[in-house]
Chains A and B, each alone.
Chain A
Amino acid sequence: MKSRFLFPYWYRYLGWGLFLVHIPIVLFRKQLGFESHGPDDGLLSSQHVFFMTTTLLMAVGLFLAAFAKERIEDEQISQLRLDSLQWAIYVNYLLLIVSLILTNDTQHILFLNLMVPLVFFIVRFQWKIFQNNRLLKRDGDLR
């Protein structure tokens, strides 16, 4: 079974690179000259540009890291990927529904909605791969 629409293996490093780059920018936003709430809150104001660039860096980074090929792409990996995607969508919608009921802070709901599926997917997928590797070490006899 061929996995289509996946990025080459090394894109994961590019993805993590982009994600790591966005962290110091967010942490040192004041020093970089981006106020959290400036007087100009319109389109393409410094706040909007800041939000746009950091969010794009984060989202694209996570996206590339999530959907890069594994070293050996086979049907079992595809199955794990599909399974993890289903979990990620379930968790995302559960959180979305809960947050819609409990708050009307739409900006943070949007932000949560942007991150949760990808982060949960990556964590769950990599955890399953880690488990398989551990089981292989434990009972993968060579003869």
Chain B
Amino acid sequence: MKNNIRVERAIKNITQAELAELIGVSRQTINTIESNRYVPSTVLALKIARVFEKPVEEVFMLEDED
């Protein structure tokens, strides 16, 4: 699964730390999600999408190997 959190953050102009605080996780967690080393739970994915005010499919998308 890939995501474009980095892009969405840039659009909304918020840092990893700010996003982390908004959804109640650590900065490390945001960083590992952004660099595709951690796949978030559905709850967390929905929370992230809600911050960006977009449907979850626009933030997270499946890859061929998924």
On A, residues with C-beta under 8 Å from B are 1, 71-72, 74-77, 79, 129, 132-133, 135-136, 139-143
On B, residues with C-beta under 8 Å from A are 9-10, 13, 15-17, 24-29, 31-32, 35, 37-38, 40-41, 43-44
Chain A residues with CB under 8 Å of B43's CB are 1
Chain B residues with CB under 8 Å of A143's CB are 9-10, 13, 15
Chain B residues with CB under 8 Å of A142's CB are 15-17
State the majority secondary structure of interface residues on A.
helix
| Smallest CB separation, A7 vs chain B (Å) | 19
Instruction: Enumerate 29 A-B pairs (CB-CB under 8 Å) in ascending A order.
Output: A71-B26, A72-B26, A74-B24, A74-B25, A74-B26, A75-B29, A75-B40, A75-B41, A75-B44, A76-B25, A76-B26, A76-B29, A129-B28, A132-B28, A132-B31, A132-B32, A133-B28, A135-B32, A135-B35, A135-B37, A136-B31, A139-B31, A139-B35, A140-B31, A141-B16, A142-B15, A142-B16, A142-B17, A143-B10
